[in-house]
Every structure is written in C-alpha cells, then in structure tokens.
Amino acid sequence: MSDEEHASAPHWSETWRGVEGQVPAGPAGYGAMIDTLRTFLDDVAAASPDEAIVAALTQDMAGWSSKLRPLAVPEAERIFAHRRDLPGRGQTMSPQLFIDEASAESVRGHVTFGDYYLGGNGAVHGGAIPLLFDEILGRLSNAGTQKRSRTAFLHVDFRSITPIGKRLQIRGWFEYEEGRKRLLKADLRDGDTLCAEAEGLFVELRPGQP
Ligand SMILES: CCCCCCCC/C=C\CCCCCCCC(=O)SCCNC(=O)CCNC(=O)[C@H](O)C(C)(C)COP(=O)(O)OP(=O)(O)OC[C@H]1O[C@@H](n2cnc3c(N)ncnc32)[C@H](O)[C@@H]1OP(=O)(O)O
C-alpha cells in the first residue's frame, strides 16, 4: 500500500486527526517500508531457513544497520511510531491497528496479528494483547483533550484464545473521568467470540511531568 493509499484508508477519524496535532511528514514511502518490515518479521517467524539463508540474511541485516545507525536522530525528530496518520502509527512493535470509527469518547477498529505475534498453538502471545489495548486506549485517552495522560494500570482478561492470521474487531470506550483519572475499557473479538477485554486507568500528567 502506498502512503497515499494509507492516508485515504479509513484508519482514523477527523476527530483524532484534530486533537492529536501535527505528524511528521517523513519521506515518501515510509508507510510502505514499515508494512514491508512487518511482513518480513512475519516471514522470519514462520520460516525454517537453511544455514546459507541464515548467513546471507544476517549479513544483509547487519549492512542495513550500519547504514541506519549514522542516521539516528533525537526522539522528537523520529518518524517511527510518530506517523499517527498511518494505520499502526508507522511502527512494528504492536500489530497494525486500523481505526474504522472514532470520536473523543470511543473507537472501533480492526486488527490482524501476523505470525510474528504467535505465542503457541495458533494463539497470539499473551503479552502482545495488552500492547494492543494500551495502544488503542492510550490514544483514546489522549484524543479528546490536549492534556496528556499515561497508563497507571492496565488489567487484561484473556477470555478465549486470540487467533493468529484472522481479522479481529476491537473497541475502546471511556467509562468515566474523575479529576486527573480516566477509566477506559476495551474488548477484542473474533466474530461473536470474546477473545480478551481490558480496563485501563490513565492519569493526566501535571505540567512538566515526563
Ligand atoms: C506523554 C504520554 C503519552 C502521550 C500520547 C500522545 C498522543 C497519542 C499518540 C500515540 C500514543 C499511542 C499509545 C501509547 C500510549 C500509551 C500510554 C502509556 O503506555 S504511558 C507508559 C506506561 N505508563 C507509565 O510509564 C506511567 C508510570 N507511572 C507514572 O508516571 C505515575 O505513576 C502516574 C503518572 C501514572 C501517576 O502518578 P502521579 O504522581 O501523577 O499521580 P498520583 O497522585 O500517584 O495518582 C493520581 C491518582 O491516580 C491514582 N492512581 C495512580 N496510579 C494508580 C494505580 N496504579 N492504580 C490505582 N490508582 C492509581 C492515585 O491513587 C490518585 O488517585 P486519587 O486522586 O487519590 O483518587
């Protein structure tokens, strides 16, 4: 998918665009590069390569690391994970989240965990699911206000296995706000099956709080 196709996909609403502020433009093709990296990680996870492939791949990857290392910039100038206009924010740590509908109070989207996120026996790793919940609730908590918040706790219940390679539905919503505290909930479903649900407390940061 090109960056233009990415940008026109229904992955974030105007509401989120408005409140989340500016995103770094980055070079053309950045989103496609991250997509390729995601596919690559899935392929690495699924493959059983021979010795020659392992040696060649190790050499190629080391070559790319030495090209990238001199290009490192401070956090504020980074593109990785800062492209909030792209599904998945231009990062590969958590699975690519597509936002289908969002307001300041709730959000609905879809996600597919690739082979990279396999825990065992066809089920997604139990650490990858809280990562996704933190991603969607963290963004939602910060969407309706300019006052930033951080996750204080994130409680996750795993209700049934979360399958690899299937398109799943995810929702998040505000339960209530009380002073600096924002309580949000989310669930992840495979059709009619509830895979996991989460409750997160986000605490609004005071001025100067990191
Ligand atoms: C800059 C932030 C992000 C911005 C996002 C930008 C836009 C979105 C774009 C892309 C983002 C994509 C999505 C990813 C983002 C997800 C967010 C994260 O994952 S953040 C990383 C993980 N979290 C931490 O590292 C926190 C570490 N902890 C802390 O910094 C503090 O403990 C903090 C801020 C959470 C609270 O500390 P205090 O000193 O400010 O506040 P006190 O006075 O302790 O608590 C205030 C109230 O909250 C309750 N509280 C605090 N922690 C609690 C807990 N664990 N359980 C229950 N209650 C708790 C307290 O009891 C108190 O309640 P009473 O006012 O007395 O009623």
Q: How do beta strands 106-112 and 167-178 pair?
A: antiparallel
- How far, in Å, CA of 80 to CA of 61, rounded? 18
- How far, in Å, CA of 131 to CA of 51, rounded? 33
The total of other beta-carbon atoms located within 10 Å of residue 147's CB is: 13
d(CA 200, ligand 1 centre) in Å: 10
Nearest CA to ligand 1 atom 15: 138
Nearest CA to ligand 1 atom 9: 139
User: Could you tell me if the CB of 203 is within 6 A of ligand 1?
Assistant: yes
Residue 3 CA to chain centroid, in angstroms?
A: 17
Nearest CA to ligand 1 atom 30: 150
User: What does residue 34 show for φ and ψ, rounded to 5 degrees?
Assistant: -65, -40
- How far, in Å, CA of 144 to CA of 142, rounded? 6
The total of other beta-carbon atoms located within 10 Å of residue 101's CB is: 13
pLDDT at 14: 43
- Stated pTM of the model: 0.92
CA contacts within 13 A on the Cβ side of 124:
30
Among 188, 132, 131, smallest CA distance to 160 is for 188
d(CA 184, ligand 1 centre) in Å: 13
Confidence of residue 21 (pLDDT cuts 50, 70, 90): low
- For the complex shown, is ipTM > 0.85? yes
Confidence of residue 26 (pLDDT cuts 50, 70, 90): confident
Q: Residue 198, by phi and psi: left (phi above 0), alpha (psi -120 to 50) or beta? A: beta
Question: What are the boundaries of each domain within the chain?
Answer: 1-210
Give residue-wise pLDDT tens across range 30-70: 999 999 999 999 999 999 999 999 999 999 999 999 999 99
Give residue-wise pLDDT tens across range 141-189: 998 777 899 999 999 999 999 999 999 999 999 999 999 999 999 999 9
According to CATH, the topology of domain 1-210 is: Thiol Ester Dehydrase; Chain A (3.10.129)
User: Which atom of ligand 1 sits closest to the CA of residue 81?
Assistant: 10
